[in-house]
Amino acid sequence: MKRWGTWILLIGGFFWLLHTMRLKQRETLQAGPGPDPGPDPGPGAVELPDGTFTFHLDPAAFWAEFPQLQSYRCRELIPGDGVCTGPPGPPLLLLAVKSHPESSARRATARRTWARPGVLGGYRVRAVFLVGVSPNPRHMALLQEESQEFGDVVLWDIGESHHNLSLKERCFLHWVGAHCGQADFIFKGDDDEFVNPPALVAYVRQTPDAAHVIHGYIRNHSAVMRTTKYRVSSALFPQDTYPDFPSGGGFLMPRASVPALAAASERIPVFPLDDVYLGFLALAAGLGYRHDARFRVYGVKDELCLYGEAFVVHGVSLGRAEEVWRGLYTERRCNGMGPLHS
């Protein structure tokens, strides 16, 4: 055990050295916004009409308040270039899961249950965990070990923070184009959820024109919050209403949407809330939505068969997630649950 512990610490120290220099160069920016709008505030205000409102985004305001979001260029420390490799086969559903280095237990539970690779209903299902860096060398060493064992991690040199989730959104769009362009559908979610890939596959197969819109729990012209952790200042965004956007806890993108979203991310300022940011990108890309309440389930009654009907359920403990998966797809205690693997 001593030798094992020493080995992990050595890997942690070595791995940490690889990105410490990069983190140092951004520490000043991450400490807080300065009065200067940045070295390159870009073009003038972006105007995005949606038929009801016209939304105005001023790049100079974004540089002034969130310069680190505007200046960051995606750099991968673990590229995840083997996630989508393999011989041609069934269409691919990619589960793209936002995670944190310290969340190894959540990733382990997901890999044993809903993020396990397989073929479901004629779709190949594969998961990838989207991670930023932590100052804890032990967490980083364990993440590297996971990557070597499972090959399902993409790590950017982004410090983990609430606002930096938008950078994960932007970098992921470019990563998919470079490494996983063959994914037919992409589910975006979090590692603290119960996700139901068999239900997602059934939904895709049964939904006409599924490949032409973004699917999710669509927030229609939500009010802008000026308090709580979701606050946005009036200087950054003076309007009172957001464009429509899919709730960030879980939504489904078709392959055709990725190039348009990635292109939009090159001209739209990075908004500090990731789900709203996706809404701006979708509006700029001219993409439509399909609303379904099963993409956002909070406070669901804790009954096994209700989990089977949902696409994603929030606030489920790790132990309960395993119980639900086993009950639905191993013990098969709910009527109508089809074969797990095809």
Q: For 119, left (φ over 0), alpha (ψ -120 to 50), or beta?
A: beta
Percentage of the chain exceeding pLDDT 90 = 79
Sequence-separated (6 or more) residues with CB below 8 Å from residue 161: 30, 132
**CA atoms within 13 A of residue 287's CA, in its CB half-sphere:** 32
**pLDDT at residue 162 is higher than 80:** yes
Longest dimension (CA), the chain: 64
pLDDT digits (tens, 9 = 90+) for 212-254: 999 999 999 999 999 999 999 999 999 999 999 999 789 999 9
Residue 21 has pLDDT above 50, yes or no: no
Taking alpha carbons only, the member of 28, 16, 21 closest to residue 68 is 28
Task: Write out the two tokens for 281.
Answer: 């990108």
Instruction: Give the CA dihedral 244, 248, 252, 254, nearest 10 degrees.
Output: 60
pLDDT average, residue stretch 119-129: 95
- The pLDDT value recorded for residue 336 is 61
Separation between Cα atoms, residue 103 and residue 192, nearest integer Å = 9
What mean pLDDT is predicted for residues 12-38?
37
The string of pLDDT tens digits covering residues 259-299 is: 999 999 999 999 999 999 999 999 999 999 999 999 988 87
Q: What is the mean pLDDT of the chain?
A: 87
